[in-house]
Homo-oligomer: A and B are copies of this chain.
Amino acid sequence: MKKPTLLFFSTLLLSNLLVPLVAATEHTNQAVVSELQNNALKSDLAYKIAESLTVEVGPRLAGSAENALAVDWAEAKLKSLGFDKVYREPVIVPVWQRGEANASVIAPFPQKLVISALGGSVATPPAGLQAKVVRFDTLAALIAADTAQVKDKIVFIDQKTERHQDGSGYGKSVGGRVNGAVEAARKGAVAVLIRSIGTDHDRLAHTGLMHYQEDVPRIPAAALTNPDANQLDAMLRRGQEVTLSLKMSPKSLGNTTTYNVIGEFTGSSKPDEIVLLGAHLDSWDEGTGAIDDAAGVAIVTAAAKMIGELPQRPARTIRVVLFAAEEIGLLGGKAYVAQHANEMAKHYIAAESDFGAGRIYRADVRVNETALSAVWQHLSGLAALNVAQGNNGARGGSEVSLLPTEGVPVASLRQDGSDYFDYHHTPNDTLDKIDPAALAQNVAVYTTFAYQMAQSTLQLRPLPQAQQ
């Protein structure tokens, strides 16, 4: 992916040299965008929405009773904001409850370790288990190891997560969380502990989804906090065998039904064509899901509301989709794609906000190459918000990443995620981690994007192939 280097200002200057005079409607649209941006930057609507969801609902793991409250909250909130249509669509989800998770060093230096069960993990035997630890730098090192090294041990995958603005450190380390249990169990391990997939130094472990595989024994899986991983590593570096006890009581309790919650402001002249703004309503269960993803819920809801309040509606419908069960495998997104299969051709473009509440610094899109320069012209107003023009390789993020394979154009409005993985999937994901001014900048960007896309006369399809 090429690095963004130019702000939209330069694109705009270039465009003025190369293309015919901007049409009168574009001038009008840019004037509306200016007003939307000004309103968004002054408004605390998004912050109030995020506050409401995190305080009045709080943690809302897909399939939990709290998540059902979140669905009710979302319907009521969208209705109270005056969306033209508000409805829910069912999503079948597995129910998993965290229970307790305790780990202790038995020898050589007895002390407790702080862990958190990974999402979907099985329990230990009720009395717990004890085993020696074998450490690996990475998942790859575990995969390359001899079975004899691993058999009957607790595997410790000790990979650190790098801090980057675009969050790219996560992709490098998250494999241990997702696949560590399977790879460890293949070699006869009794449990797996990973160093948290997080960039912080707090005694708060990062949970997140893990997978089992049909033909491989299911072993308990948990994350150590970064300081606890340091501690375990320091013990192992002394050259002594380290024995841990582990006791975890998560439960899987079959399936239940939850819901995607959808709200629309109907388009004025092309009401069947959709600009989709997504976020996810569910959260992990230990924080209040502020940056993941009350922020996204707040950003897209507030942006749609501000467009819906304009004296004149844009041509296309603005559809806000608050997806269910993102954290446990994009289940709401998959249900949406299935339930809206016949409508996919009517999705003009889609974007999702699911990377915290940091300022947006770059816009990527994925549209037909012939439309690209005109799309950048539509989005030239983003320069005023310090958003750089990116590339045409957007994947769309989270649920919306499922849409390009359905032919739907997407955008990735990239947020500064430098501190996102300090808090992601931990008890520390709380409202105080949201900067109201940065949140408002996000809303301003989404209003710009959504309004221009709802007004555009460009043909954005068919999509180019994804960049690798």
Interface residues in chain A, defined as those with a beta carbon under 8 Å from any beta carbon in chain B: 51, 54-59, 66, 108-112, 114, 201-204, 226-227, 230-231, 234-235, 238, 287-288, 426-428, 430-433
Are A201 and B432 closer than 8 Å at their CB atoms? yes
Residues of B within 8 A of A112 (CB): 59
The residue in chain B whose Cβ has the minimal distance to the Cβ of A233 is B55
Residues of B within 8 A of A58 (CB): 109, 111, 231
C-alpha spacing A432/B110, complex, angstroms: 20
Residues of B within 8 A of A238 (CB): 55
C-alpha spacing A428/B110, complex, angstroms: 18
C-alpha spacing A153/B450, complex, angstroms: 50
Give 13 CB contacts A-B under 8 Å.
Answer: A55-B231, A55-B234, A55-B235, A56-B108, A66-B111, A114-B427, A201-B432, A202-B204, A202-B428, A204-B204, A227-B432, A230-B430, A231-B431
Are A201 and B51 closer than 8 Å at their CB atoms? no
Q: Which of A66, A238, A287, A428 has the most chain B CB within a 10 Å cutoff?
A: A428
Are A430 and B55 closer than 8 Å at their CB atoms? no
The residue in chain B whose Cβ has the minimal distance to the Cβ of A235 is B55
Pairs A-B, 3 closest by C-beta atoms? A58-B111, A203-B427, A227-B430
Residues of B within 8 A of A114 (CB): 427
The residue in chain B whose Cβ has the minimal distance to the Cβ of A58 is B111
Known: A66-B110, A111-B59, A235-B55. A203 touches B432 (CB 8 A): no
CB distance from A438 to the nearest CB of B (A): 16
Residues of B within 8 A of A431 (CB): 227, 230-231, 234
Are B226 and A432 closer than 8 Å at their CB atoms? yes
Residues of B within 8 A of A427 (CB): 114, 203
Residues of B within 8 A of A201 (CB): 428, 430, 432-433
The residue in chain B whose Cβ has the minimal distance to the Cβ of A237 is B55
Residues of B within 8 A of A433 (CB): 201
Contact of A56 among B55, B109, B204, B287 (CB under 8 A): B109
The residue in chain B whose Cβ has the minimal distance to the Cβ of A204 is B203
Residues of B within 8 A of A234 (CB): 51, 55, 431
The residue in chain B whose Cβ has the minimal distance to the Cβ of A426 is B203
Contact of A55 among B51, B109, B287 (CB under 8 A): B109
Residues of B within 8 A of A204 (CB): 202-204
C-alpha spacing A34/B63, complex, angstroms: 66
Contacts A59-B111, A227-B431, A230-B430 known; 20 new A-B pairs at CB < 8 A = A51-B234, A54-B231, A55-B234, A55-B235, A55-B238, A56-B109, A57-B111, A58-B111, A58-B231, A66-B110, A66-B111, A201-B432, A201-B433, A202-B202, A202-B204, A203-B204, A203-B430, A227-B432, A231-B431, A234-B431
CB distance from A148 to the nearest CB of B (A): 28
CB distance from A194 to the nearest CB of B (A): 18
C-alpha spacing A56/B114, complex, angstroms: 17
Residues of B within 8 A of A59 (CB): 111-112
Residues of B within 8 A of A231 (CB): 54-55, 58, 288, 430-431
